[in-house]
Amino acid sequence: MNLPAQLAVDLLHCERAAQQAVAESNGQLRIVQGELITVDYFDNLAAEIDEILQVYHSKLGSRQALCLIVIVP
């Protein structure tokens, strides 16, 4: 989403607001490549990767399962 265009505000204003939100989030928000990401997002992503690795580890072995995670977005 192009937030500055949607809100009709300057990009710098959005970036400052995002930085302030991160500072006030007690570690619950991060900025990753210009995107606001919650810690819950990282936790859910880790759980999904673990689930996939568990399924494919039993079928392919650990090295091949890890390769699937790296190759398949």
Q: Say what the pLDDT of residue 66 is.
A: 64
Question: What confidence score (pLDDT) does residue 55 get?
Answer: 75
Please report, in tens digits, the pLDDT of each residue of the chain (73 residues total): 677 788 888 888 888 999 999 999 999 999 998 889 999 998 998 898 888 777 776 766 666 666 666 654 4
pLDDT for 65: 62
* 17 neighbors 29 (Cβ within 8 angstroms): no
Note down the domain range covering 62: 3-71
pTM of the model: 0.61
- How many structural domains comprise the chain? 1
Secondary structure (DSSP) of 4-71: HHHHT--HHHHHHHHHHHHHTTTTSEEEETTEEEEHHHHHHHHHHHHHHHHHHHHHH-HHHHHHHHHH
